[in-house]
A and B are shown apart, each in its own frame.
Chain A
Amino acid sequence: MIEVRDLEVRYGTRTVAKVPELDVAAGECVAIVGESGSGKSTTLMSLLGLLENAQVTGQITVCGVDVRNASPRELRAIRGARAALVMQSPQSALSPTTRLGSLMRAALKLHGRAATRAVMAAAVEAVMLDPAILRSYPHEVSGGQAQRFAIALAVALGAEVILADEPTSALDVTVQAEVVALLRRLRAERGLGLLLVSHDLALVSTIADRVLVMKEGDVVESGPAARVLSAPGHAYTRELLEATP
């Protein structure tokens, strides 16, 4: 799904992210953890070629597409569709004057998919939402519903991998638990790959197979989540773990 080798992101002379190796296989969840400014979100954005003002070097392959050398058309085919992006605040990513149904229809058409009522209803039902929600405007739904709708868009477009940047940190704990359960289910049922950026190590420990720990742009530790989070090899990972409530 995702294969990265020797990725480096620079703004001018300043390197903001350096990732020697990052792979996400089908049905696998890989998490990038670290504090604000560690380069974790930058890494995620670079994978979809979304950093226009940065110099990005290295090999990035997402769903078989060489992101750095892809044409705009090839990029459009993966962005948002085969590789879906789920952000921290879904409500700010949804147009406030467009009903959720119109929004999903537009996304399906953009990617040349049939935008039938049945397809749309099936996608929202797959994330445990009532299809009636398609008639709502973004401000009429809760944060948890908006986040599930963002995931429903990925489902409707047949995403193979979801890139999620702090997808639950703006949500209540009970709603967070629902979204995490949903992501786990989609992984198991559809073989969806998941690249998760989070600062919540406790949450990561319950969902990720592998973890990359980033600090000030560098990967300081990586490996199976169970090992890294129970027997950390780097002092910074230990510091993060100690701060976890």
Chain B
Amino acid sequence: MTLLRADNVVLSYGKRPVVHGVSLDVVPGGVGLIGESGSGKTTLARAFLGLLTPTSGSIWYGTHPLKNADMKAFRRDVQPVFQAESLDPRMRVGASIAEALKKPAQERVAELMKQVGLSPDLVIRRPHELSGGQRQRVVIARALAVGPKLLILDEPTSALDVTVQARILDLLAGLDTERLLITHNLSVVGRLCRTSHVLFAGRVVESGPTDTLLERPSHPYTRALRDAVPVLGGEPPAAGRSAPPAETGCPFRSRCPLAVQECEQPPPPREVEGRTVACHRAEEVLTGPAGR
């Protein structure tokens, strides 16, 4: 069953829309929301958490629109994991975790600490006395305290060293909760999400199985994201054109190396080789030189 769903969701700050009619299901196996700063991914995540109300369209929690849902049950089922800086700097981390428990109990806090790979002895520390990786584990422990079904993770590892990042990803991959992961880093999505949606300028431009998207992207923006990730011993990452999104037609056409006159019309989402893509030239992207 789909726990959360966005149905044609529009989100605006004042009169400025930042998410334009996005529909997607948070399905089992992990869902990735990928995009750069300003793509609307964090805004959409906030709407999924019930922190923002859509201007139009709706978020569904199970079979109910979120606005009519039992918020107590929702908060138990869906927990956010933000970057480690979300901890109260004045609170001991044990107290931070206990705060999330209905009946604060030392044993349960210790159990949660162990579950995320931390020594229970650390409960008396304050956030600044822990490393970045330890702090992120505390944030995860606090989210797990209420026994959620789904974690909404917003760039959970982007501030961490690679070795620490790898351990946090292992931890997250081993949890039996569902995941909605928001990130700009494609390599992280590959570890945690079976399905991914690529957002550009507030629109989903490509959706499908993560492996398919990473191996053979069909949208030029997905391809640009993939090619920008440096690879050990590989060529220097490809730098694309930087330009603000186009106001009309395909928003990516201001940066797209394949843009033609047809792109002045908005591309409707369509099925191409096992994924959904909004690009007039998806076939050319797929058959481009060496898949690039």
Question: Which A positions have Cβ atoms within 8 angstroms of B?
Answer: 35-37, 128, 142-144, 172-178, 180-181, 184, 199-203, 205-207, 226, 229-230, 239-245
Q: Give the shortest distance, in Å, between B277 (CB) and chain A (any CB).
A: 19
Q: Does B164 contact A (CB under 8 A)?
A: yes
Q: Which residues of B contact A200 (CB under 8 A)?
A: 162, 230
The distance in angstroms between the C-alpha atoms of A1 and B239, with both chains bound, is 28
22 contacts between A and B (CB under 8 A): A36-B132, A37-B131, A144-B242, A173-B185, A173-B186, A173-B225, A174-B36, A174-B225, A176-B230, A177-B227, A177-B230, A178-B240, A180-B230, A181-B236, A199-B162, A200-B162, A201-B162, A206-B235, A243-B163, A245-B165, A245-B166, A245-B191
Q: How far is the CB of B234 from chain A (nearest CB, A)?
A: 6
10 closest A-B pairs by beta carbon, nearest first, are A245-B187, A181-B239, A177-B237, A243-B166, A177-B228, A172-B36, A202-B230, A243-B163, A173-B228, A177-B239
**Contact status of A177 and B238, CB under 8 A, knowing A199-B161, A243-B163, A245-B188:** yes
Report Cα–Cα, A74/B37, bound state, in Å.
Answer: 41
Chain B residues closer than 8 Å to A207, beta-carbon distance = 236
Residues of B within 8 A of A173 (CB): 36, 184-186, 225, 228-229, 237
**Chain B interface residues (CB < 8 Å from chain A):** 36-38, 131-132, 161-166, 184-188, 190-191, 224-225, 227-240, 242
Would you call A174 and B240 a contact (CB within 8 A)? Answer: yes
A143 to B225, CA, bound (A): 17
The B contact surface, by secondary structure, is: loop
Closest chain-B Cβ to A153's Cβ sits at a distance in Å of 20
User: Chain B's nearest CB lies how many Å from the CB of A84?
Assistant: 21
Shortest C-beta distance, B193 to chain A (Å), equals: 14
A172 touches B162 (CB 8 A): no
A206 in complex: contacting residue of B187, B237, B242, CB < 8 Å? B237
Known contacts being A35-B161, A35-B164, A178-B242, is A229 close to B185, with CB within 8 Å?
no
Bound-complex Cα distance A192 to B78 (A): 50
Given contacts A176-B228, A241-B232, A243-B166, 5 further A-B contacts (CB under 8 A): A142-B38, A174-B224, A178-B240, A205-B233, A245-B166
Q: Which residues of A contact B235 (CB under 8 A)?
A: 206
Query: How long is the Cα–Cα vector from A143 to B231 in the complex, in angstroms?
Result: 23
